[in-house]
Amino acid sequence: MISYRRELWFDVPARRGFVNITGQVEDCLRASGVREGLCLVNAMHITASVFVNDDEPGLHRDYEQWLERLAPHEPVSAYRHNRTGEDNGDAHLKRQVMGREVVAAVTDGKLDFGPWERIFYGEFDGRRRKRVLVKIIGE
């Protein structure tokens, strides 16, 4: 069995944003040499997410609005977590909704996805460097 590990680093300049990382994950898959197996992609920060969906700008704006309605950033005093001196209580909740990780099947050396599926890094407390783990196992 082959085991491959790589970290991807992101520095989203805004508080929130979505980055299509499918190409970078596919690069990892090619480098791994795995033809059949599984690919795990997970955010290694508790205010960021990795998820699968369509790469469509309207959908991303819908996510922004929906998440802000679910867990608005302001007032920051609304979150007990922010009493620690942080201002990112909302980011923790947004991450919980959007998820921590993606596990994708690898078939014939490719991510086994539907036609519109792409992998995204979701940032909810940006303006600093964060990482995503790619772990691929298989044959």
pLDDT tens, residue by residue, 5-58: 999 999 999 999 999 999 999 999 999 999 999 999 999 999 999 999 999 999
CB 119 within 8 A of CB 27: no
Task: Locate the domains of the chain by residue range.
Answer: 2-103+114-138
Q: Are 40 and 103 in contact (CB under 8 A)?
A: yes
User: Rounded to whole angstroms, how far apart are CA atoms 121 and 10?
Assistant: 9
Strand ranges (DSSP E) for the chain? 2-10, 17-20, 37-43, 48-53, 101-107, 110-111, 118-123, 130-138
What is the structure's pLDDT at 19?
Answer: 98
pLDDT digits (tens, 9 = 90+) for 64-105: 999 999 999 999 999 999 999 999 999 999 999 999 999 999
Contact between 125 and 91 under an 8 Å Cβ cutoff? The reply is yes
Give me the CATH topology for the region 2-103+114-138.
Jelly Rolls (2.60.120)
